[in-house]
Structure 1
Amino acid sequence: MYEEPIGHTLFAVRILAIADETDPTLTAARLRDIKPDLVIGCGDLGMDYLDYVSSAANACLVYVPGNHDPDLRFRAPASRPGALVFDEVWGNAQPDDEKRELAGINADGRIVQVNGLSIAGLGGSIRYKQGPNQYTQREMARRARNIKWRARLARKPVDIFIAHSPPAGLGDEDDGPHRGFESFIPLVEALQPKLMLHGHIHPHGFEKPDRQLGSTRIVNVIPHQVLEVE
């Protein structure tokens, strides 16, 4: 677990990032001690667990789906009032409190503004069987291009990129279901976020080291990581 500041803005935002595995150490008391300003879910966690963590921590939730999550593409995102969601197709910002349905902000395929941070999200894994939230390399490359286009439209630097899968060759594995996305490398190089957070690659008791791509620190957050972005 890392607790160190990143970046050079005026105020630090404390982030609790979670993915893939429910963590019995994240008791309500522990969450109150961590005092995150923001909870980020990187996929493959049930909404009940995400709701529990964000509610016990009294923090806003931003998440992307994993390959074991349901298809959320045609359901309205929800968030705290006033948060902005950049529409996946056209890129226009809308106050999403008018279309609330799910707890938290689904950032998949979007750029959202929360707690002064600009957060881009791309959920899902490489396609290896039938099911939602799985993409070929070509399909994810198209989604990555959409994020780059939206970032240019927003005219604001992206602070954090959240995904379920890692970039190819940077924390992924050789077996088919756990290969990373090739398109994430040029995306990260273009956006230059301070952090890329992901899950999908289970540690199985071994520490997964951080990776570096340019100025971007890439962190596998399973089961949880605490970070500060300034």
Structure 2
Amino acid sequence: MKILTISDRVEPVLYNEFNAEMFTGIDFVLSCGDLPPEYLSFITSRLNAPLYYVRGNHDIRYDTKPPEGCIDLDGRLIRHGSLRLLGLEGSRWYNGNPNQYTEPQMRQKLWKLRPRLWWWKGADIIITHAPPRHIHDGEDLCHRGFRCFHGLIDRYAPQYFIHGHIHKTFTHPSQRMTHISTTTVLNTFGYHIITDAHEDSQ
């Protein structure tokens, strides 16, 4: 399984300088937010691969112009093949604009998902915009992560917990990653390609 993950920055090799050779064999795309809807539509059409997304705190145009041919994963569990995908949009509340949540509001979103998570025995890949608290996050109100995301990781042990929102430059892929037991927490700022997601994890 080969998965392209994206967030927060429009990459020339995926848009106006699109390089097909760099992205051959992509099975599907996961977008973790703060990207123009036109960018997502372009990627899914050029790669001819499904694209699942969550909104970031700056994705205020999605209501009037959603990404064409893409699937909103917020608050949903979806299967792609045998992989179980879960998405949660938004950042911590900081100025009251759309796609911002307090810690109790995000906890309530997770509470509503518990019956389906129980029925599906968790999720293999979770995508969010914001990171878990104290993992890759910042200390300013906007960039703090959500504490309740730790419960998702501890209880369901997904293969990957993938987020955006935190802008960093990486010189090696390992710098994007933090491991919590068997879960890899991945900051996908810009883009990253996953090649080791397992379809037979259940």
TM over 0.5: yes
Q: Deviations over 1:17-70 (max 9, x none)?
A: 000100012243336643210011000111110011111111001010000112
- 1:16 equivalent in structure 2: 4
- 2:38 equivalent in structure 1: 48
Contact 2:143 2:165 in 1 (8 A): yes
* Structure 1: gaps spanning 5 or more residues: 1-12, 78-100
Q: TM-score normalised to the size of structure 2?
A: 0.87
When the two chains are superposed, the root-mean-square deviation of aligned CA atoms in Å is 2.2
Q: Which amino acid is the alignment partner of residue 200 of structure 1?
A: H
Q: Does 1:126 align with 2:116?
A: no
Q: Does 1:176 align with 2:141?
A: yes
Q: Which amino acid is the alignment partner of residue 164 of structure 1?
A: H
Q: Distance in 2 between matches of 1:116 and 1:31?
A: 27
Matched residue of 2:87: which SS? Answer: strand
Map residues 147-166 of structure 1 onto 2, 5 A cutoff.
147-153=113-119, 155-166=120-131
Map residues 1-230 of structure 1 onto 2, 5 A cutoff.
13-26=1-14, 27-30=17-20, 33-70=23-60, 103-153=69-119, 155-204=120-169, 208-228=175-195, 229-230=197-198
Q: Which amino acid is the alignment partner of residue 179 of structure 1?
A: R
Q: Deviations over 1:92-148 (max 9, x none)?
A: xxxxxxxxx953110101111123311011010000002111000110111122233
45-54 vs 139-148, greater mean Cα deviation: 139-148
- 1:90 equivalent in structure 2: none
Q: Distance in 2 between matches of 1:34 and 1:173?
A: 34
Matched residue of 1:218: which SS? Answer: strand
* Percent identity for Structure 1 against Structure 2: 34
Matched residue of 1:170: which SS? Answer: coil
- Quickly say closer, same or farther: Cα 1:212–1:193, change in 2 above 3 A: same
Contact 2:5 2:30 in 1 (8 A): yes
Contact 2:37 2:62 in 1 (8 A): no
Matched residue of 1:118: which SS? Answer: strand
Q: Distance in 1 between matches of 2:21 and 2:69?
A: 18
- Quickly say closer, same or farther: Cα 1:31–1:15, change in 2 above 3 A: farther
Matched residue of 2:3: which SS? Answer: strand
Q: Which amino acid is the alignment partner of residue 48 of structure 2?
A: N
* Structure 2: gaps spanning 5 or more residues: none
37-46 vs 202-211, greater mean Cα deviation: 202-211
Q: Distance in 1 between matches of 2:112 and 2:62?
A: 18
Q: Distance in 1 between matches of 2:176 and 2:35?
A: 22
